[in-house]
Amino acid sequence: MENLERILAAHPFFAGLDGEFCTLACGCAKNARFDAGQFICHEGDSADQFFLVREGRVALQVSAPGRGASTFLTLGPGEVFGVNWLVPPYRWTYDAKAIAPTRAISMDAACLRNKCEANHSLGYDVMKRLMPVLVERLHTARVQMLDLYGARG
Amino acid sequence: MSERSIFREEGLQALIEALSRRGFRVIGPTIGDGAIIYDDVEALGDLPRGYTDEQEAGRYRLARRDDAALFGYAVGPQSWKRFLHQPLLRLWRAERKGQDVIVEAEPPATEKLAFLGVRACELHAIEIQDRVLIGGDYVDPHYESKREGAFIVAVNCGTAGGTCFCVSMNTGPRATRGFDLALTELTLEGGNGFLVEVGSPAGAELLAELPSRPASREEMDDGDAVVARTAASMGRAMPAEDIHALLMRNLDHERWDEVAQRCLSCANCTMVCPTCFCTSVEDHNDLSGAESSRTRRWDSCFTMDYSYIHGGSVRPGVASRYRQWMTHKLSTWFDQFGTSGCVGCGRCITWCPVGIDITEETRAISDSEKLLGAADGKS
Amino acid sequence: MSDAAFATLMHAQPMVPQVAHVRGRRKDTPDAWTLDLELANGARLIYAPGQFNMLTAFGVGEAAISVSGDPAGGPLIHTIRAVGPVSRALTALEPGDPIGVRGPFGVGWPMAQAEGKDVLLVAGGLGLAPLRPALYRLLGERARFGRVTLLFGARTPEDIVFRHEVESWRARFDIDVDVTVDHAASEWHGHVGVVTTLISRATFDPCNALAMICGPEVMMRFVAMALVEKGFGEDAIYLSMERNMKCAIGHCGHCQLGPTFICRDGPVFTYAQLKRFLAIKEL
């Protein structure tokens, strides 16, 4: 456990997390490992985990009939995915696939939700870390939508 | 200034003839298309004797004067830029022979031009275009050849037009530099005459050939009085403040949208402006594709094509195009060339089909700032 | 003709194209081609990284195109995207065909100021073309500079210009190269996401670094903002601007942005110079 706590505290998402919170969060965490090409989750599945990438690369994909799977975002060391863990009905809205050997910390969603609910200070701290990620994703999605390098770019 | 001369109308006729003898094409004011335009002048009879012009925002009419003055009007729709910075000019021709191409640059015209009746605002306009076209790192050889050989006879204005505002731009009505000779039309005993000021050695040399005499103290005072009277009767005035900074502070002002409701984006203001210098180029080729050429023509920042980059125009809105014109003219011109791009000639006001007035637009922005300042308790 | 004589001629007759011939033509992306040119008079056109030329397709017209070759030598190279009548005619030229060249024009990348600093190049789409001469210079005189990083964003994997060369740069140890695309099929194993997402993964000392950005204006704005957030000074961020150009010598008026003529005062400016004007719509 101590080892995992160190790993958790070293991840940029939890950088500077209060020691007590770290212990709390750590209770929901475990190490995860995925091979290149392995799906981590599928669209529509229950979002019961939240991932902090430590090594490797993960592609977030959406598939459309006749067009196959297209990747809309890739994530690497220091980044997180699976934010649906916090929003009912807790379902994945995309596929996540490791495209390189990947190591991550997997947080148990129900566990973390319960701890945040029980300890609002922890909950607020987690929110403050999650919100910038969401805002950044929203912004980059907008820029992507502009299709900057396309016909008009 | 102290040594001024007097000649009568015969002296002016002699001046035109002397310039012709020296090989100059003499261009001056004459009546054409219901306006005073600039064209070839061979004799006094070509000048608009006894005419004046009535100018207001969006309005221009010729009218008779009750005297026989030769220069009793303000500036018309044309300016001297049509002779120095031609509206249409071929830049080069190319002939293709197999995989080779011979490009032949258009040689600069060798014609010597003499301008008769150049007003103070127009002298400033020429000086401003000099800075743009021959004053920088690159020189326009066509402009340069026409400009260098040009002989300039200025006329101090005896009449201010209804849209004139040179006094507030410090560009008139007296010609202070940039001429070879400057005339002030006076009523002398026994007919019209001109108080003549020499502005260059070439001007002095020419004057020496003409039937003239030294001006009396009284005649010089009369000449000054003519200019003073004109200065006192300006039809418009540009607000007296730092307009360069005013407009840069107000690039997002709501007035741009307001003026865009009236502006037709017709480009008249840029065509009549004596300092607007923008051009575009067009390539042409014959049917076989063996010969091609490139021509340059006046362009205007009011067209959509002007700012086109692949995908669209940078300034699709009329508001942004009007803002580009006005802020360039009155503000960013200072950053680029060290002076205002406006000389207060009033042409853009007169020839705007809907009567948009650059002094009024500036004042509106200035006044709104003052109101805001008052509301903030700052002034 | 000597190189210096050519430069003097170009300066005396800046509006008259000099004849060159296409010596090589390569398709780089679905809509962009690279042309190798050789001047008919035997001179070499001496240019600085980031400068541009005006290229004429005889009988069709002229377009402003950045030089994309190596300023240290080799053919005169331009990479052109076929988006309008002129650029389509230019990209359709075959080896041996004549082409008109005027230039070089404008102010290029701040190579001298970059010495001793970490240099971050951020390219979007075909924006890599005007940055390539700077990259050649950086790699050619590698010891003069600190850490060198290229962050490159393209639309799709197929739109990656100079693809093989980018791969060869990635393999080097003296430059960090990161590539991302906006959209990709599942076979693509590189980054997906806008180019700004690469910034946080790059290593540089913001207090002693200089950034050169080239790409669509919106992309440059966002990259500049992201770099300021990372601690870059606004005057250490350089952008290469694009506007309509007809003369390239400050005479035709078309390329103005606020007080600047992009052709004469740029195309490369600091973010500090342009920030205010980039924020105003339709300026």
Domains detected in chain C: 3-104 (2.40.30.10), 111-278 (3.40.50.80)
ipTM of this predicted structure: 0.93
For chain B, the straight-line distance linking the first and the last C-alpha, in angstroms and rounded, comes to 43
Low-confidence stretches of chain A (pLDDT < 70) are: 1-2, 151-153
Asked if residue C215 has pLDDT above 50, the reply is yes
In chain A, residues 93-152 whose CB comes closer than 8 Å to chain B: 151-152
C31/chain A closest Cα distance in angstroms:
10
Report pLDDT for B191: 84
CB-CB under 8 Å, C186 with A148: no
Asked if residue B1 has pLDDT above 80, the reply is no
CB-CB under 8 Å, B294 with C84: no
> CB-based burial of residue B232 (10 Å sphere; 0-12 exposed, 13-18 middle, 19+ buried)?
exposed
Summarize the confidence of residues B66-87 as an average pLDDT.
Answer: 96
Report pLDDT for A65: 82
Report pLDDT for B379: 45
Asked if residue C21 has pLDDT above 60, the reply is yes
Give residue B311's pLDDT band: very low, low, confident or very high (50, 70, 90). confident
Comparing alpha-carbon positions, the chain A residue that sits nearest to C154 is A149
Rounded distance between C-alpha atoms, residue B246 and residue B268, angstroms: 25
Report pLDDT for A61: 93
Computed over every residue of chain C, the mean pLDDT equals: 95
Comparing alpha-carbon positions, the chain C residue that sits nearest to B252 is C280
Asked if residue B144 has pLDDT above 90, the reply is yes
The helix/strand/coil state of A85 is: helix
Asked if residue C45 has pLDDT above 50, the reply is yes
Report pLDDT for A83: 84
The helix/strand/coil state of C60 is: coil
Summarize the confidence of residues C13-30 as an average pLDDT.
Answer: 96
A99/chain C closest Cα distance in angstroms:
6
Q: Tell me: the pLDDT tens digits for C176-211?
A: 999 999 999 888 989 999 999 999 889 999 999 999
Report pLDDT for C186: 84
Asked if residue B373 has pLDDT above 90, the reply is no
Token readout for B114 is 């003499």
In chain B, residues 275-294 whose CB comes closer than 8 Å to chain C: 277-285, 289, 292, 294
Rounded distance between C-alpha atoms, residue C128 and residue A76, angstroms: 24
Q: Tell me: the pLDDT tens digits for C230-245?
A: 999 999 999 999 999 9
Report pLDDT for B4: 94
Asked if residue B23 has pLDDT above 50, the reply is yes
> CB-based burial of residue A15 (10 Å sphere; 0-12 exposed, 13-18 middle, 19+ buried)?
exposed
Helical residues (DSSP H) of chain C, grouped into ranges = 3-12, 85-91, 111-114, 128-140, 163-170, 217-229, 262-265, 271-278
Q: Tell me: the pLDDT tens digits for C251-264?
A: 999 999 999 999 99
DSSP code of residue C17: P
Report pLDDT for B287: 82
The helix/strand/coil state of B147 is: helix
Rounded distance between C-alpha atoms, residue C218 and residue C230, angstroms: 19
Cα B294 from chain centre: 27
CB-CB under 8 Å, B103 with C256: no
Comparing alpha-carbon positions, the chain B residue that sits nearest to A151 is B311
Q: Tell me: the pLDDT tens digits for B148-171?
A: 989 999 999 999 999 999 999 999
Domain A2-145 falls under CATH 2.60.120.10? yes
Comparing alpha-carbon positions, the chain A residue that sits nearest to B312 is A152
Interface contact C194, partner A, CB < 8 A? yes
> CB-based burial of residue B352 (10 Å sphere; 0-12 exposed, 13-18 middle, 19+ buried)?
buried
Summarize the confidence of residues B237-245 as an average pLDDT.
Answer: 96
Interface contact B78, partner C, CB < 8 A? no
Q: Tell me: the pLDDT tens digits for B314-357?
A: 999 999 999 999 999 999 999 999 999 999 999 999 999 999 99
